């Protein structure tokens, strides 16, 4: 992983000259084939950033965890969810005294979003199904997963998730919205029946893996409404989309079930 810094989160990015967090298969053999898709959550109780990422073993991807205060020094926890599992993020505070992790294990041929709980960030259990991939011709049929970490709002946890639709010409990754209860985050309050963001521009439709928009992070403007969403476009470039959390909630109210 490599850190890029910007005063406004939009332009004039300065990329660190050296990689920030490298795969370390000597000490963490689960990182033998690399690491990807970090999702970063600031944890006020610890005054640290939690980095939940995918680590690749010979047997597939699993979920790994690290903490940092300065993005220079890291405390690695290693695997916290074994293969095959990915698309994970930590909630910023405990739920009923326990840490909560959203993740996406795979049980072929379908893949759903789950939430698990831990007293110490190392031992995880109390696994609960959070959001089910639809069936049939839906845009989010068969495989879904968390995109960036959940957004804390007065109405609940607002989740941007990706859905994968298989077509004759390949997969299409699109984004939908779902709202979950603040105190019982496995309880879905509302889910979009349409996608709200999809590959449209040429750089999103053509690349190493075409027809993919895949966000893993965001920043918020002061005031907590304007959001900058950073996403991978066609597995080739990094792109930015700016929106409004309040308008996303309004859209979900109109297009949810």
Distance CA 138, CA 70 (A): 42
- Predicted confidence at residue 168, as pLDDT, reads 84
| Of the candidates 60, 132, 46, 123, the residue with the CA atom closest to the CA atom of residue 91 | 46
Chain segment 212-243, per-residue pLDDT in tens: 999 999 999 999 999 999 999 999 999 999 99
What residue spans define the domains of the chain? 141-257
State pTM to two decimals: 0.96
In 108-256, the DSSP E strands lie at 110-111, 113-118, 125-131, 143-146, 151-153, 156-167, 170-180, 188-191, 213-220, 226-233, 237-244
- Predicted confidence at residue 182, as pLDDT, reads 98
Distance CA 231, CA 90 (A): 19
């Amino acid at each position: 992983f490599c850190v890029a810094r910007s005063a406004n989160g939009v332009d004039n990015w300065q990329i660190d000259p050296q990689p920030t967090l490298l795969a370390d298969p000597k000490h963490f053999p689960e990182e033998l084939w690399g690491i990807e898709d970090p999702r970063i959550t600031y944890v006020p109780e610890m005054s640290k950033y939690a980095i939940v990422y995918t680590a690749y073993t010979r047997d597939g991807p699993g979920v790994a965890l690290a903490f940092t205060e300065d993005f220079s020094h890291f405390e690695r926890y290693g695997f916290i969810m074994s293969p095959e599992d990915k698309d994970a993020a930590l909630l910023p505070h405990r739920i009923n005294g326990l840490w909560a992790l959203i993740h996406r294990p795979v049980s072929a041929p379908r893949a759903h979003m789950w939430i698990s709980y831990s007293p110490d960030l190392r031992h995880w259990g109390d696994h609960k199904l959070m959001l089910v991939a639809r069936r049939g011709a839906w845009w989010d049929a068969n495989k879904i997963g968390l995109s960036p970490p959940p957004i804390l709002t007065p109405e609940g946890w607002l989740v941007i998730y990706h859905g994968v639709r298989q077509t004759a010409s390949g997969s299409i990754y699109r984004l939908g919205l779902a709202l979950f209860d603040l105190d019982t985050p496995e309880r879905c309050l509302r889910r979009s029946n349409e996608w709200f963001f999809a590959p449209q521009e040429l750089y999103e439709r053509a690349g190493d893996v075409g027809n993919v928009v895949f966000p893993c992070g965001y920043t918020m403007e002061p005031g907590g409404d304007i959001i900058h969403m950073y996403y991978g476009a066609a597995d080739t470039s990094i792109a930015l989309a700016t929106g409004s959390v309040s308008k996303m909630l309004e859209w979900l109210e109109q297009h949810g079930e």
